[in-house]
A and B are shown apart, each in its own frame.
Chain A
Amino acid sequence: MRYLPLIWAAIMRKPTRTVLTLLSVTVAFTLFGLMIGLNATFDMVAEKARADRIFTWPRFGGNGVPVAVARQVAAIPGVKAVTAMNFLPGYVQDPKNQVFVLMVDQNVASVFGDYGVSPEQWNVVWKDRTGIVMSRMQAQRWHKKIGDTFTMISKQIKRADGKTSWDFKVLAIVDDIPQAGNGFIFGNYDYIDKAKPPADQGKVNEVDLLADDPAASSAVAERIDHAFANSATPMQTITEKLARSGNDFGGLDIKKITHGIALAGMFMVLFLTGNGIAESVRERFAEFATLKTIGFTDRAVTIMVVLESALPCIIGAALGVGVAAVLARQIPKLMPPNFGIPLPTISPMVLVWAAASAVVVALLSAALPILRLTRMDIASALSGRT
């Protein structure tokens, strides 16, 4: 602690340099926070994925499979609960404002209980065929509150009456959950089914289920694939755990990309802070010689340089991660609506990584100057012959 005034004097020797270095470090850690935060989100989603939940859908796409498939799935050993859904893709006013409504049947609560919709809220929705539940994020995006009408256009789903617009009533708004990064909207399966032409009715796009035993869910998934393999409706089945694991984004390895970007940012500041500290030590070489002459040990000098190097790194890291946390919350407002990217989460792990990286950058930056200082020839340094 008694070195603090010395360190402070060293840091404030060139205030412009200090402030600019601090800003650079802050920016680099903003990027670091966003990138590692994105990883944290993916990790959290993977972790929160339920081991017992399984998704199955028609292997070869198309208009969906008969709703009877849901009953056949329910009869497969090891299956606890089954719900079937239809997809309603479309847009609000402008094709740029894409929206997606999951039209679910009344068993949904038994499979998606963790989505935070209470039995009372479901009951309200089931009473009105056009009712929907919105998560808060979606409600904000479309500026809806309970009781509002929500109208969307869907050109993909044909209605018997030839219309392309779908009117809904917002009957419940619930909190978002990490598994659904862009929020969610649940509607009533009966509404979409009855609106379709008779030939298209009675079809489902996806069947979701819970396994009795989470440990057996992969086996149950395989059983489903197998049961339908040679039927008129081959299915493609995957456990939620597998679907959410591995940072896979259309084949891109998110972890590799975010780590690469964060690393490039760190390398950039390492070069900058390393130079700054080397320059600062070089300018004060004679002063360090004086300190050593009056009895400062190598250890003391080392500690001083490390602290001088660490202070802007750690403050910058803290500021940068703070800015990242604020930016992360602004991302939905900065990006086009329904942008399919999850928000970075500044989790405790992100803080730990940021702190560790700041320390590593500080130590690496200080290493060479310290080596020079400990090896310095005091006499020649004092006389300015360095």
Chain B
Amino acid sequence: MNILRQIGIVSLINFRSIRLRLWRSLVIVVGMACVIGVLLSMLSLTEGMLAAYMKTGDPGRALVVSAGSQSEGNSSIPRDKARLIMDAPGIAKAPDGSPLADPGINSGVPVYRLNGRRAYNILRGFGSKGVMLRPEFHMVSGRMFRSGTRELIVGVSAKSQFKDMNVGDKVILPDGEWPIVGSFTTGDLLDGQLIGDTETVMKAIRRPAYNSILVRLASPSSFSAFKGALTTNPALAVDPMLQTEWYKKISEGFSTFFKVIAYGIGIIMAVGALFGCLNTMYAAVAARGREIATLRAIGYGAFPVAVSVILEAAVLSVTGALIGASIAWALYDGVVGSFGSNVFKLTVSPALIGMAILWAAAVAVLGGFFPSIRAARRPVVEALRAT
């Protein structure tokens, strides 16, 4: 009889008898559901925030910040340098022939969270090309701010986290109150932010220099020419980066931070679940001692018996993981959350669920291994005599 067939038959016997040890078996299911539920709930934050960062980046655009900047807010690009940057080769042209490049502002604005605590939201400045550079930008309600006017527009998600972020509300800037005249969506991080006219905002917050320059590349291959021109120009000390690279760079800090915590907690819980799994599988093997011995006596091999034990653990464990993942998904997937100034949708992605299944399989293999050896090695005669 071939081994696969034997594994199949022994496993079938195992699964049919799960009913008899339902509660015991549920220990594995519940254990894994708790592990994966907690792990994916925590990771949904990192995953969602990373996804929002990555979506904000477009490989067809490049961002220029001052050398060594860790954030747009810390970067500073004086006006004369901005002109040099926007005249560099490799930048796409607007219909009127001018370079498709926009100097931007990125400043914190003190706001209140809905729970009353203080926080900062981000106020961006768009210049005349701000919208043309971002085809993902659409007005949702109200109207666009007029350039040269003290008006702001707000992303559609801001109001889910911060107070006074509706069209008609007013935002306090250093030179007084600015009305919000419209709301927009870009489908990325900007959905949580405020936007105004770069030059007008700079006057209000007394910034003499821009924070960054965003450009559309003439073609994907023109980035090297663009970068080369900026980095070899001794008058400039700037870091040109593909926008995707930039968001990858600035997301590294928080993503490592949250992942270390989430996986740390996940591993501790998984170890607890592993002991539960061992416990259950030892009990299962002991309870089926006689059936296993009978099978061995009529010619079944030790290997199929061992494999079937691990398979049983795996089915229970993966079931638990899927339940845990479903709970995390139902509670958090698509929920708008925020960390710091970032507003984004929490995400329980298929990749996370896939990872959860791998975790469950790993716990099952570790937790089923020793019981499976015990099952396979038990002397047939002794097992048959046992009660």
Q: Do A and B come from one complex?
A: yes
With a cutoff of 8 Å between Cβ atoms, the chain A residues found around residue B279 in the complex are 16-17, 20-21, 24, 272, 276
With a cutoff of 8 Å between Cβ atoms, the chain A residues found around residue B338 in the complex are 251
| B residues 249-286 touching A (CB-CB < 8 Å) | 256-257, 260-261, 264-265, 268-269, 271-273, 275-276, 278-279, 282-283
With a cutoff of 8 Å between Cβ atoms, the chain A residues found around residue B108 in the complex are 60-61
Q: Which of B34, B69, B118 is most buried by chain A, counting CB atoms within 10 A of its CB?
A: B34
With a cutoff of 8 Å between Cβ atoms, the chain B residues found around residue A279 in the complex are 24, 283
Could you tell me if A246 and B283 are in contact, using CB atoms closer than 8 angstroms?
A: no
Could you tell me if B283 and A236 are in contact, using CB atoms closer than 8 angstroms?
A: no
CA distance A159 to B31 in the complex (A): 57
Does chain A have a CB within 8 A of B335? Answer: no
Assuming the contacts A16-B282, A27-B271, asked whether A271 and B265 have C-beta atoms less than 8 A apart, the reply is no
What is the distance, in angstroms, from A264's C-beta to the closest C-beta of chain B? 5
With a cutoff of 8 Å between Cβ atoms, the chain A residues found around residue B360 in the complex are none
Determine, out of A117-125, A202-210, A333-341, the stretch whose residues face the partner at the interface.
A333-341
* Residue in A24, A155, A156, A248 whose CB lies within 8 Å of B276: A24
Could you tell me if A267 and B265 are in contact, using CB atoms closer than 8 angstroms?
A: no
With a cutoff of 8 Å between Cβ atoms, the chain A residues found around residue B119 in the complex are 251
CA distance A59 to B68 in the complex (A): 25
Does chain B have a CB within 8 A of A352? Answer: no
Could you tell me if B34 and A275 are in contact, using CB atoms closer than 8 angstroms?
A: no
| A residues 235-254 touching B (CB-CB < 8 Å) | 236, 238, 246, 248, 250-252
Could you tell me if A232 and B271 are in contact, using CB atoms closer than 8 angstroms?
A: no
With a cutoff of 8 Å between Cβ atoms, the chain A residues found around residue B73 in the complex are 61
Could you tell me if A265 and B282 are in contact, using CB atoms closer than 8 angstroms?
A: no
Could you tell me if A267 and B69 are in contact, using CB atoms closer than 8 angstroms?
A: no
What is the distance, in angstroms, from B374's C-beta to the closest C-beta of chain A? 10
With a cutoff of 8 Å between Cβ atoms, the chain A residues found around residue B34 in the complex are 264-265, 267-268
With a cutoff of 8 Å between Cβ atoms, the chain A residues found around residue B161 in the complex are 251
CA distance A250 to B271 in the complex (A): 30
Could you tell me if B69 and A268 are in contact, using CB atoms closer than 8 angstroms?
A: no
With a cutoff of 8 Å between Cβ atoms, the chain A residues found around residue B310 in the complex are none
CA distance A45 to B104 in the complex (A): 39
| B residues 148-206 touching A (CB-CB < 8 Å) | 161, 173-174, 205-206
Could you tell me if B257 and A339 are in contact, using CB atoms closer than 8 angstroms?
A: yes
Q: Which of A21, A60, A248 is most buried by chain B, counting CB atoms within 10 A of its CB?
A: A60
CA distance A17 to B287 in the complex (A): 13
Could you tell me if B269 and A265 are in contact, using CB atoms closer than 8 angstroms?
A: yes
Q: Closest chain A residue to B324 by CB distance?
A: A264
Could you tell me if A60 and B174 are in contact, using CB atoms closer than 8 angstroms?
A: yes
With a cutoff of 8 Å between Cβ atoms, the chain A residues found around residue B205 in the complex are 60, 62
Assuming the contacts A27-B275, A251-B119, asked whether A156 and B30 have C-beta atoms less than 8 A apart, the reply is no
Assuming the contacts A250-B340, A278-B23, asked whether A336 and B282 have C-beta atoms less than 8 A apart, the reply is no
| A residues 8-52 touching B (CB-CB < 8 Å) | 16-17, 20-21, 23-24, 27-28, 30-31, 34
CA distance A17 to B256 in the complex (A): 38
CA distance A260 to B34 in the complex (A): 11
CA distance A315 to B320 in the complex (A): 28
Does chain B have a CB within 8 A of A305? Answer: no
Q: How many residues of A contact B (CB 8 A)?
A: 47
Assuming the contacts A155-B67, A276-B279, asked whether A62 and B272 have C-beta atoms less than 8 A apart, the reply is no
Does chain A have a CB within 8 A of B113? Answer: yes
Assuming the contacts A155-B68, A156-B74, A276-B279, asked whether A265 and B109 have C-beta atoms less than 8 A apart, the reply is no
With a cutoff of 8 Å between Cβ atoms, the chain B residues found around residue A34 in the complex are 265, 268
* Residue in A31, A62, A246, A267 whose CB lies within 8 Å of B206: A62
With a cutoff of 8 Å between Cβ atoms, the chain B residues found around residue A379 in the complex are none
| B residues 73-114 touching A (CB-CB < 8 Å) | 73-74, 107-110, 113
With a cutoff of 8 Å between Cβ atoms, the chain A residues found around residue B385 in the complex are none
Q: Closest chain B residue to A258 by CB distance?
A: B265
What is the distance, in angstroms, from B21's C-beta to the closest C-beta of chain A? 9
With a cutoff of 8 Å between Cβ atoms, the chain A residues found around residue B41 in the complex are 260
Could you tell me if B276 and A251 are in contact, using CB atoms closer than 8 angstroms?
A: no
CA distance A62 to B174 in the complex (A): 12
With a cutoff of 8 Å between Cβ atoms, the chain A residues found around residue B260 in the complex are 335-336, 339
Does chain A have a CB within 8 A of B37? Answer: yes
CA distance A246 to B117 in the complex (A): 9
Assuming the contacts A27-B271, A60-B108, A60-B174, asked whether A250 and B339 have C-beta atoms less than 8 A apart, the reply is yes
With a cutoff of 8 Å between Cβ atoms, the chain B residues found around residue A272 in the complex are 27, 31, 276, 279
CA distance A236 to B35 in the complex (A): 42
Q: Which of B41, B67, B279 is most buried by chain A, counting CB atoms within 10 A of its CB?
A: B279
Does chain B have a CB within 8 A of A269? Answer: yes
CA distance A86 to B233 in the complex (A): 32
* Residue in A28, A250, A260, A340 whose CB lies within 8 Å of B272: A28
Does chain B have a CB within 8 A of A234? Answer: yes
With a cutoff of 8 Å between Cβ atoms, the chain A residues found around residue B340 in the complex are 250-251
Could you tell me if A336 and B256 are in contact, using CB atoms closer than 8 angstroms?
A: yes
What is the distance, in angstroms, from A364's C-beta to the closest C-beta of chain B? 14
What is the distance, in angstroms, from A185's C-beta to the closest C-beta of chain B? 19
Q: Closest chain B residue to A245 by CB distance?
A: B117
| B residues 17-33 touching A (CB-CB < 8 Å) | 23-24, 26-27, 30-31
Q: Closest chain B residue to A257 by CB distance?
A: B42
* Residue in A31, A232, A251, A278 whose CB lies within 8 Å of B339: A251
Q: Closest chain B residue to A234 by CB distance?
A: B174
What is the distance, in angstroms, from A69's C-beta to the closest C-beta of chain B? 14
With a cutoff of 8 Å between Cβ atoms, the chain B residues found around residue A336 in the complex are 256, 260
Could you tell me if A17 and B271 are in contact, using CB atoms closer than 8 angstroms?
A: no
CA distance A16 to B370 in the complex (A): 12
With a cutoff of 8 Å between Cβ atoms, the chain B residues found around residue A267 in the complex are 30, 34
CA distance A199 to B67 in the complex (A): 20
Q: Closest chain A residue to B113 by CB distance?
A: A251
Could you tell me if B269 and A31 are in contact, using CB atoms closer than 8 angstroms?
A: yes
With a cutoff of 8 Å between Cβ atoms, the chain A residues found around residue B110 in the complex are 59-60, 236
Does chain B have a CB within 8 A of A76? Answer: no
Could you tell me if B272 and A27 are in contact, using CB atoms closer than 8 angstroms?
A: yes
With a cutoff of 8 Å between Cβ atoms, the chain A residues found around residue B377 in the complex are none
CA distance A340 to B338 in the complex (A): 18
Q: Closest chain A residue to B161 by CB distance?
A: A251
Taking A60-B107, A232-B174, A272-B27 as known contacts, 19 extra A-B pairs with beta carbons closer than 8 A to each other, sorted by chain A number, are: A17-B283, A21-B275, A24-B272, A24-B276, A28-B269, A30-B268, A62-B207, A155-B67, A232-B206, A238-B118, A251-B119, A251-B339, A261-B38, A265-B34, A268-B35, A268-B269, A268-B272, A271-B27, A336-B256
15 A/B residue pairs, CB under 8 Å, sorted by A: A16-B282, A21-B279, A24-B279, A28-B272, A60-B109, A164-B68, A236-B110, A246-B117, A248-B117, A251-B119, A264-B34, A264-B38, A268-B34, A335-B260, A341-B257
A-binding residues in B (CB < 8 A): 23-24, 26-27, 30-31, 34-35, 37-38, 41-42, 45, 67-70, 73-74, 107-110, 113, 117-119, 161, 173-174, 205-207, 256-257, 260-261, 264-265, 268-269, 271-273, 275-276, 278-279, 282-283, 338-340
A-B CB proximity, top 7 nearest: A155-B68, A27-B272, A20-B279, A24-B275, A268-B34, A250-B340, A23-B275
